[in-house]
Copies of this chain bind each other. A is one copy, B any other.
Amino acid sequence: MISASQSEFIERLRAAGQARYHDRHPFHARMHDGALSRAELALWALNRYYYQTRIPIKDALIVAKSEDPSFRRRWIHRIADHDGVAEGDGGLALWRRLAMALGVKEGDLDDPGAILPGVRRACDSYVELVRSATLLEAVAASLTEFFAPALMRQRLASWQKHYRWVPHEALEYFRIRIQRAEEDAAGALELVIALATTPELEQRATVALVKKADLLWQMLDAIQGAADANEVSHASPPQ
Contact = CB atoms under 8 A, between A and B. Distances in A.
Contacts of A60: 60-61, 63-64, 72
A57 interface: yes
21 contacts: A53-B67, A56-B63, A56-B69, A56-B72, A57-B64, A57-B67, A60-B60, A60-B64, A61-B61, A61-B64, A63-B63, A63-B79, A64-B64, A69-B83, A69-B84, A69-B90, A73-B80, A73-B86, A76-B76, A76-B79, A76-B83
Contacts of A61: 60-61, 64
Chain A interface, >50% SS class: helix
Interface in A36-79: 53, 56-58, 60-61, 63-64, 67, 69-70, 72-73, 76, 79
Interface residues of A, number: 24
Q: Specify how many copies of this chain sit in the oligomer.
A: 2
Contacts of A90: 69
Contact of A84 (B63, B73, B80, B85): B73
